[in-house]
Structures are given as structure tokens and as C-alpha cells.
Amino acid sequence: MPATVVVGTQWGDEGKGKIVDLLAADADLVVRYHGGNNAGHTLVVGGEKTILNLVPAGVLHPGKVCVLGPGMVIDPEVLVREIDALKARGYLGDDRWLRVSEQAHVILPYHRALDRARERLREAGAIGTTGRGIGPAYEDKMARTGVRMGDLFDLAELRETLTRSLREKNELFPFLGERPVTVDEILATIDGYRARLAPYVTDTGAEVRAAITAGKRVLLEGAQGMLLDVDHGTYPFVTSSNCVAGAAAAGAGIPPKALTRVVGITKAYTTRVGGGPFPTELTDALGERLRADGDEYGATTGRPRRCGWFDAVVVRQAIALSGVDGLAVTKLDVLTGMDPIRLCVAYEVGGRRLELPPATQRGWHDATPIYEECPGWTEPLGRLRSLDELPGKARRYLDALTAAVGAPLVLLSIGAGREQTIAVGPTLA
């Protein structure tokens, strides 16, 4: 049976949590395949808000197996808190509904300390990381000095690994304004959650592959957005993992041929958190209005998001890199009352028209958006339940948006609630 990948096509915060929650109703397993608790997925069901940082967004559906894949980096303390919060509300009552990869790397206190210290040293060039230790944990993974979830249960091997890793880090910490850390401190921290996590830690790749062979439907949940991909994003203002659909196979531990459909998520406008280029950013009252009307504050950090007009250039690139089959457009309702609505269809860089993003920071810095304008609408959208009910001007904007990026519309979100969604085309293959 198919595995469907959900990817963000902007700089994150596109509404992936809501869309994964919707698609999870027809899936058997929901697998998070990269990132860590730097992502925050917000779900609103029955008027109740749930924010998830690690557990996949299928958790609100009974009987769905939620998997934290080997491509993730996991802060065990955060995971235990999230499990406790979900159980307190009646979710994850049975341990079999959550599976955690024994191959996923562990975020430890010294990773968070490194993250914060490095961001301080960057000063004006700060990337805007969440300070959650994501980058340093991935760095240890690539340096082959990391701790994996399965290592937590082999104390002799764990002590040896920590001793090697801390030898280098404790040389750095005094220069970074952080105090050295002892192996015993880390082990004491781990003792607090080892037993709590033991029922969940397993070879998730084998379980997901077996599920696919058995004909079950698998939904692969991405975090962040394509323009934050470490290889294909606005480097160095990116995350520390691959956010494109091609990373889902490795990050979940399944073969590439199992990936049969890709759903891309985009807002009807554009937002970004932290530093880095943003050609369509609005720094005036209109940008403030988008932030206020769209409640554009980070689910994980609470930081205000930068807001701007829809950028077809970046979404077009994301669609091409991930092979997006259909587009879910979110937050169209936020644009109600704005007239005209502008849509960036290309950049001008050095007198040349670019249909795809520049490759360098200099190119991004020099990029001037080329806009098309669409008339706005005033009718509220939140109670609509079919595409035919949309005001003509809202439909015209959607048509211009999908034509500019070259992908068909499959879902339209017109509010935060699960029910405020219009299905247009097939999602799960």
C-alpha cells in the first residue's frame, strides 16, 4: 500500500499539523521522519487546541500508530512531558500506539547549551534557532559521536560515548561562556526517563516496512519547510536536516519506491521566523495586520513571525524538488478584507527575471519581487464547506496561486478547526 509524504513548501509554519491530522483519519501509521522539538504543530479539534512538538499529529485519532523515526533528534525530557500531557487528556492510553526509533539521536543538555552559546556569538548574524539543541545533536550524529535512543539502555556503552563526546565539548564550554558538564550529571538526567521510554523504543523502520508490506496506509509527516532544508534552503539560515520529500524514505527507514504521493502545504501568504532572506516581507501596517489576523506566533517559541505576500518562486521550487502531486492551501480566510492582494510570480535580480530562487545570499539580498495583483474580497470564509461557495474573487486568487506554482489544489483550509477544511482532490493515494 502507499506511503504519502506531507511537506511544507515555504519557511515552515504552513499548517502541516492540521493537514496531517486530517489525513491521519485514513492512515494506519503516522511517521515523523526528521527534525526535533524545534517544530510545533497546532491542532484545533472541537474548539480545543493541542500543540505537538515531537509526537506525530495523528495522535488525536484513536487506533493510529504514531512513530518517531530514525531521522529525528529527540529530547527525552520533552518527549516524556508530551506523553504525560497527552495521556492526561486520554490519548496514548496503550503503549503500542507510540513507537520511538532506537536509531534516532538523543538531544542532551550540552546540545542545548552549545546551541544557545553559538547563537549569542553570532550577534547580528544570528540564524534565529530555537535554542533546543537540534543543530548540535545533528552535528554529533554526523561526527559519529552522538547518542542514540537505543544507547540509553546500555549503560557501559553510554558512559563511554558520553566520555568521548564531553572531552571535546568541555574544552569549548569555558570559551563559550558555559560551564563544563560531567558524565555523571548526564547519566543522572537520563535515569529520570529511561524506564519511562523503554516501552516505546524499538526498530521502527522494520515495523513501518512490515506495515507497508501488509497493505497498511502510512502517512509521513514533515517538519519545518523546504526553504529551511539544509541543502536546498536559504543557507545558512536553515534547519539542520533535510525537509524535502526525498528525505522521508531515509528518515522513516523505508525504501524510496514506497513513497507514492506527496502533498505540499502552503499558506495563502508567506511567513518566516528568525533571520534570513524574505523578498516579499511586509514591514508595514499590512504585515502587522497579517500577523494579528493570522495569529502568527510560533507554537514552540511564541516568537512573532515575519509576514508577507505569497511567494510563488519559493513554492515553485519546493514543488519541483519534492515532486508535489497536490497542494493544500491554508489560511485563505486571513486575507479577507485585504484589497488588492499581491502575488509574487518571479524575482528581478541584476536586471534578470528569475522564476526559481537564487543560489547565494547575495542573490537573495538583491532579489526584487515581481508582483501580480488580484482583487480582494470581504465575505467571511470560515463557515463555507465547498469550493463552489467561495466568493468569486477568492476563487480567482486561488486559481492564480495554483497556476503560478504549477500544482493542483487538493485541500483548502479556511480556519483553524478540523471542520474548516474543503476537500478538492485526492490526498492519500
What is the CB neighbour count within 10 angstroms for residue 249? 19
Provide the terminal-to-terminal Cα distance of the chain, rounded to the nearest Å: 9
CB 400 within 8 A of CB 376: no
What is the CB neighbour count within 10 angstroms for residue 61? 18
According to DSSP, the β-strands at 259-267 and 306-308 are unpaired
The active-site residue out of 34, 41, 105, 111 is 41
Active site residue 41: yes
What is the residue whose three cell numbers read 529527540? 74
The active-site residue out of 13, 21, 75, 140 is 13
> Looking at 69-221, which runs of residues are DSSP E strands?
73-74, 98-101, 105-106, 201-202, 218-221
CB 305 within 8 A of CB 297: yes
Closest by Cα among 9, 6, 22 to 271 = 9
According to DSSP, the β-strands at 341-349 and 310-311 are parallel
Query: Helix, strand or coil for residue 157?
Result: helix
In terms of phi and psi (left: phi > 0; alpha: psi -120 to 50; beta: otherwise), the region of 71 is alpha
**In the 8-state DSSP scheme, what is residue 383?**
T
Query: Helix, strand or coil for residue 202?
Result: strand
Question: Cα–Cα distances in Å, from 411 out to 51, 106, 159, 218, 362?
Answer: 22, 35, 49, 19, 36
What is the CB neighbour count within 10 angstroms for residue 293? 16
Active site residue 151: no
Residues in Cβ contact with 247 at an 8 Å cutoff, skipping those fewer than 6 apart: 33, 34, 71, 241
Whether the CA torsion 300, 302, 306, 308 is positive or negative: it is positive
CA-to-CA distance for 109 and 106, rounded, in angstroms?
10
- Catalytic positions, please? 13, 41
